[in-house]
Each structure stands twice: as C-alpha cells, then as structure tokens.
C-alpha cells in the first residue's frame, strides 16, 4: 500500500496554490493524498501569519497531531510532521524549540526541497531518534522551476502564480517579511504553464500574486511585460475562456490594465481591489500611498471600461489612531461604491510591523463594534447584488458536484457561487451522470439568490 500524506491549508490563495504544488511533490514521491490525519504517514501544515494569533492555532493543531502520532507509533507506524508557509518562515526555529513533534520546517520558498528534507529527516531519526530539519531560505533557484508537467484531473479552474512577494510595506502587513521582495516569473514560463493548463482542459485561469498588478515579467527579448500584456497573451490561448487576477493594489492599476477590462472579453467582470480604509489620514498611516479620492476615481474608470464589473475589497477596522470620523469615512466610501462582496477584519498587530508598536492602538470593543457595523452594510450590499442577478442568464463554469443529487456547483462571471439543478439534463448513456456538463461553461438562468450564493437551472 502506498504511503499517505495529509495537508492542512490555512490562509490565502497563495497558500492554496502552494499546497497544491506540495501535493504534486508528494505525488512524485509516491505518496497518495488522504483527508484523514490518522491515516497519514506525512502531515504538512501550510500555515498563515497574516492575522490573529495564527501561530497559536497551529500549535493547538500540533498538539492534536502529537496524540495521533503517539497512537500510530503504538500501531508500529511512523509519522512525519512538516510545518510550512508563513508562520514557519517567520518563527520556524522557535517553533522547533517549542514543539519537538515537528520534524521539518520549510518556508514558502523551499517546498521543492521537500523530498531532500524528508530524506534528511529519516536519516536523523534513524541515527538520533529525532529529526530537526529546517529550511527557510530564499534560495536563488526558483521553486517555480520545479513545477510538474502534468495537470490533468484538477478541475476546470486553476491558479497560475505569476508574481510573488511584495515591496509595498503597508505598516500593518507581514507579507513583505514572510514572502520576501517582489518577484515576477518570466512570460515564457507562464505561457508554457497556461498552455499546459489549456491542454489539460482547464477553462478558467486566475493569475495569482500578492501584488499581481505590479507584475513585470521578462519577455525573453530583453523587454518587460506588464500584467495587461500578460492578460492579452493568455487570452490568445485556445481553450482558456476566462481570465481573472488577484490581488491588486490600487497604486498599480495603470491605464493599460483598465483598458484590458474594456478590450479583453475573456477577462471576467470582477475585480478584488482592496482599499482597507476610506480615511486619508489612516491610508497615510498605513503607507498605502494613495488617497480615497484616487480610489473612487479608479472605480469610476473601471465602470466606464466595463459597466457590469463587480467590485470586491478588503477593509481593516481599528487600525491604530482610527477615530469615529475615520471609520465613518470608510462607511461612506462603502456606501458610495456598492460592493458585490468584500472581506473585513479587525486590525491585528503583527510582530515586527511598524503599526504594531504605534501608541494609539484601538480598544478591542471599539474594533468589534465597527466591524459589526461595516459587515452589516457589506452583507446588505452583497445580498442586493445577488438579488439583482435573479432572472438573468449567465455563463456558469460547473466545477463540482453539490450536496444534493442532480446538483452541480460553479461560478458566475462575477465569482458568485451558483447551485445548478441538472435533473432534466441527466446523460443516460454515460456511466457518470451529467458528464456532459461537469467542467463546462453552461448557460444558466438564475432563479433565486441568497446572501452567499445563487440557484439556477440550465437555460
Ligand atoms: N490586521 C488585520 N488585517 C490584515 N490584513 C493584512 N494584515 C492585517 C492585519 N495586521 C488584511 C488586509 C489585506 C488582507 C489580505 O488581510 O485587509 O488586504
Ligand atoms: Fe501587505 Fe500592503 Fe503588500 Fe498587500 S500591498 S501584501 S497589504 S504590504
């Protein structure tokens, strides 16, 4: 029987992508995936550091895993534990001291070295009874050079990491410290990967990066391509019908990228464009390098380029020094924009960041009250956006089966989850029903809309 691995992913889409790549590495080592840590010979925790006491959550999971390991040891089975991702990068050595259960610590830049680390770990256990393998370098050889060549069987929508790291140094954020400085992958590599995706039947590609619109890749001819250039190139690949990108910084929304929303039909009418706060004083203190007015201008320009564009954002409430008036400016901006959806968070001081040592920290109770007020407004806007979809016909990319029989789930152009009843579309001739629809772009009539999703039927 082949050995099994279990990966738990915390945090953002970059981590989801990294977990997929670590799964590929484990596949390559002859391991198969399991959803059950009790069965796993190798457990990987892919951690996140961006908010809350993320590290504490990881430690409590490690505690649970220690018990699983003890039980497995009694049954004569070995278990290895690797901690990966941003917590590992930020405090890997300390984690190893605190939790002897950990065999390996690897940062987001070194997962391609996992096989070598596993070998080293086994050797150490054989000779000393324990394992302490740590690799949180920012190696010169790029992990992207070690991507697998085959991507079949992964569903019709995929991420393509085009850029990583961030040089913006927003004063609340750990990303520049954990993911390092900005790095853009060369155009040629990305086109190869996107074509392989198309060959494998992938229809929707999301270009991924911490600061994706800062993308500036080598074109192989001594020049540089921007994100809008890249979008135009990817749009030419037959088979790829939908393109998205995330996450963007308002500062890097240039005229070409705005024009791409007008000119590239495959670019989906949805944009996640975080502003964090509607107050200029707070935006300054956050080092966001733009004003609320500039953001509102961008919103107007985006809607001129693509009138049906749906907007999303991130907000932080209770940043140090945020007054009632500052918060009210955020509420006012939200009311003006009218978002299709958005994420909002209480400010969480991250060790090592400038904002964490500002003296004007806001009370937890004030943060909680502001968050509740903001989320009530954002939920209202999201429900209104979903309600406005009812009666429309839209192309939905059907990605997976739903909970109920005769149900498939997919995404609308505006990234809404759509539950589609396919009862009358049963494909009698096929062994698996609905094979004709799964993984395809299908025209769907929206029948109803809730706060978080839509329901529809095949049009
Ligand atoms: N506290 C709260 N939210 C944060 N984010 C990043 N750092 C912090 C922090 N220290 C939020 C921002 C960012 C999103 C990914 O996470 O809104 O856009
Ligand atoms: Fe963090 Fe700011 Fe960079 Fe986004 S732009 S990753 S919030 S430092």
DSSP assignments along 351-383, one per residue: TTSGGGG-S-PPPHHHHHHHHHHHHHHHHHHHH
Residue 189 confidence (pLDDT) above 70: yes
Ligand 2 centroid to residue 12 C-alpha, Å: 13
pLDDT tens digits along 215-264: 999 999 999 999 999 999 999 999 999 999 999 999 999 999 999 999 99
What is the residue with the minimal CA distance to atom 16 of ligand 1? 50
Which ligand minimizes its atom distance to the CA of 347? 1
Instruction: Please tell me the distance from the alpha carbon of residue 213 to that of residue 258, in angstroms, as a whole number.
Output: 11
pLDDT tens digits along 56-109: 888 899 999 999 999 999 999 999 999 999 889 888 888 899 888 999 999 888
| More confident: 61 or 148 | 61
Tokens of residue 70, six digits? 């003890």
What is the residue with the minimal CA distance to atom 1 of ligand 2? 173
* C-beta neighbour count of 125 within 10 angstroms: 14
Q: Determine the residue of 173, 250, 277 to mutate for testing ligand 2's pocket, defined as the one with the most ligand atoms within 8 A of the Cβ atom.
A: 173
- Greatest CA separation found in the chain? 69
- The answer to whether the beta carbons of residues 156 and 126 sit under 8 Å apart is no
Instruction: Please tell me the distance from the alpha carbon of residue 137 to that of residue 213, in angstroms, as a whole number.
Output: 26
Mean pLDDT of 10-25: 88
Using DSSP, state whether 135 is helix, strand or coil.
strand
Nearest to 89 by CA among 177, 20, 163: 177
- H or E element at residue 111: none
Q: Could you tell me which residues come within 8 angstroms of residue 53 by beta carbon, excluding any fewer than 6 positions away?
A: none
Residue 424 confidence (pLDDT) above 90: no
Ligand 1 centroid to residue 298 C-alpha, Å: 21
φ and ψ of 145, to 5 deg? -75, -5
Q: How far is CA 10 from CA 13, 49, 103, 381, 458, in A?
A: 9, 9, 19, 27, 35
Instruction: Please tell me the distance from the alpha carbon of residue 155 to that of residue 177, in angstroms, as a whole number.
Output: 33
Instruction: Label residue 152 by pLDDT band (50, 70, 90).
Output: low
What are the percentages of helix, strand and coil residues in the chain, rounded to 5?
A: 40, 20, 35
Instruction: Please tell me the distance from the alpha carbon of residue 68 to that of residue 40, in angstroms, as a whole number.
Output: 10
Instruction: Please tell me the distance from the alpha carbon of residue 68 to that of residue 46, in angstroms, as a whole number.
Output: 18
Is the preceding peptide bond at 242 cis, omega within 30 degrees of 0?
no
Query: Which pLDDT belongs to residue 428?
Result: 52
Residue 180 confidence (pLDDT) above 90: no
Instruction: Label residue 112 by pLDDT band (50, 70, 90).
Output: confident
Query: Which pLDDT belongs to residue 429?
Result: 47
Q: Is 205 in the pocket of ligand 2 (CB under 6 A)?
A: no
Q: Is 120 left (phi over 0), alpha (psi -120 to 50) or beta?
A: alpha
| More confident: 316 or 16 | 316
Establish how many alpha carbons lie within 13 A of residue 309's alpha carbon, considering only the half-sphere containing its beta carbon.
27
Ligand 2 centroid to residue 331 C-alpha, Å: 22
Ligand 1 centroid to residue 106 C-alpha, Å: 23
Mean pLDDT across the chain? 92
Instruction: Label residue 149 by pLDDT band (50, 70, 90).
Output: low
Q: Sheet holding 157-161: strands in order across?
A: 157-161, 204-208, 242-246
Residue 151 confidence (pLDDT) above 90: no
Show the ligand 1 pocket: residues with CB < 6 angstroms: 50-51, 172-173, 274, 276, 314, 316, 345, 347-348, 350
Q: Could you tell me which residues come within 8 angstroms of residue 418 by beta carbon, excluding any fewer than 6 positions away?
A: 394, 396, 409, 410, 411, 412, 444, 446, 453, 454, 455, 456
- The answer to whether the beta carbons of residues 447 and 390 sit under 8 Å apart is yes
pLDDT tens digits along 378-422: 999 999 999 999 999 999 999 988 888 889 999 999 999 999 988
Which ligand minimizes its atom distance to the CA of 169? 2
Which atom of ligand 2 is found nearest the CA of 247? 4
Find residue 33's DSSP bridge partners.
5
What is the residue with the minimal CA distance to atom 9 of ligand 1? 348
Residue 142 confidence (pLDDT) above 80: no
Tokens of residue 69, six digits? 């390991």
| More confident: 402 or 441 | 441
* C-beta neighbour count of 106 within 10 angstroms: 26
Instruction: Please tell me the distance from the alpha carbon of residue 343 to that of residue 39, in angstroms, as a whole number.
Output: 35
Q: For residue 85, with 0-12 CB atoms within 10 Å meaning exposed, 13-18 middle and 19 or more buried, which class applies?
A: buried
- The answer to whether the beta carbons of residues 14 and 178 sit under 8 Å apart is no
Which ligand minimizes its atom distance to the CA of 177? 2
Using DSSP, state whether 443 is helix, strand or coil.
strand
- Report the share of the chain in percent with pLDDT over 70: 94
Tokens of residue 216, six digits? 């500036």
Tokens of residue 89, six digits? 């990068």
Mean pLDDT of 354-370: 97
Query: Which pLDDT belongs to residue 430?
Result: 46
Nearest to 333 by CA among 386, 262, 381: 381
pLDDT tens digits along 162-172: 999 999 999 99
Q: Determine the residue of 345, 346, 355 to mutate for testing ligand 1's pocket, defined as the one with the most ligand atoms within 8 A of the Cβ atom.
A: 345
Of 278-282, 322-326, 433-437, the poorest mean pLDDT is in 433-437
**Bridging pattern class, strands 441-449 and 417-421:** unpaired
Which ligand minimizes its atom distance to the CA of 175? 2
Instruction: Label residue 146 by pLDDT band (50, 70, 90).
Output: low
């Amino acid at each position: 029987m082949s050995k099994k691995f279990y990966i738990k992913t915390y945090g953002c889409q970059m981590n989801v992508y990294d977990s997929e790549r670590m799964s590929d590495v484990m596949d390559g080592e002859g391991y198969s995936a399991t959803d059950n840590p009790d069965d796993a010979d190798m457990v990987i925790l892919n951690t996140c550091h961006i908010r809350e006491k993320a590290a504490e959550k990881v430690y409590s999971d490690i505690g649970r895993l220690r018990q699983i390991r003890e039980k497995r040891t009694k049954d004569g089975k070995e278990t290895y534990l690797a901690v990966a991702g941003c917590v590992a990068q930020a405090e890997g050595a300390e984690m190893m001291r605190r939790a002897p259960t950990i065999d390996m610590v690897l940062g987001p830049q070194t997962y391609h070295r996992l096989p070598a680390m596993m070998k080293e770990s086994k050797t150490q256990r054989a000779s000393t009874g324990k394992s302490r393998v740590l690799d949180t370098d920012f190696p010169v050889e790029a992990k992207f050079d070690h991507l697998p060549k085959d991507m079949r069987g992964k569903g019709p929508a995929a991420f393509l990491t085009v850029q990583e790291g961030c040089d913006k140094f927003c004063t609340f954020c750990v990303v520049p410290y954990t993911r390092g400085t900005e790095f853009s992958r060369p155009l040629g590599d990305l086109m190869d990967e996107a074509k392989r995706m198309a060959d494998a039947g992938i229809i929707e590609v999301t270009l991924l990066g911490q600061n994706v619109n800062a993308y500036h890749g080598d074109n192989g001819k001594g020049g540089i391509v921007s994100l809008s250039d890249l979008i135009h190139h990817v749009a030419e690949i037959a088979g790829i019908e939908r393109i998205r990108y995330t996450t963007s910084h308002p500062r890097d929304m240039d005229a070409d990228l705005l024009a791409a929303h007008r000119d590239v039909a495959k670019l989906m009418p949805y944009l996640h464009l975080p502003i964090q706060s509607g107050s200029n004083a707070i935006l300054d203190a956050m080092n966001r390098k733009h004003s609320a007015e500039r953001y509102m201008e961008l919103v107007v320009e985006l809607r001129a380029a693509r009138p049906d564009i749906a907007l999303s954002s991130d907000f932080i409430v209770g940043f140090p020094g945020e007054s009632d008036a500052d918060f009210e400016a955020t509420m006012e901006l939200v009311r003006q924009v009218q978002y299709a959806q958005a994420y909002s968070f209480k400010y969480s001081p991250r060790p090592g960041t400038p904002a964490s040592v500002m003296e004007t920290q806001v009370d937890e109770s004030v943060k909680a009250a502001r968050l509740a007020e903001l989320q009530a407004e954002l939920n209202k806007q999201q429900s209104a956006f979903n309600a406005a979809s009812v009666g429309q016909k839209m192309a939905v990319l059907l990605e997976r089966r739903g909970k109920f029989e005769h149900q498939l789930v997919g995404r609308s152009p505006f990234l809404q989850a759509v539950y589609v009843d396919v009862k009358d579309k049963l494909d009698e001739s096929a062994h698996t029903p609905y094979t004709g629809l799964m993984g395809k772009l299908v025209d769907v009539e929206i029948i109803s809309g809730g706060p978080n999703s839509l329901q529809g039927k095949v049009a």
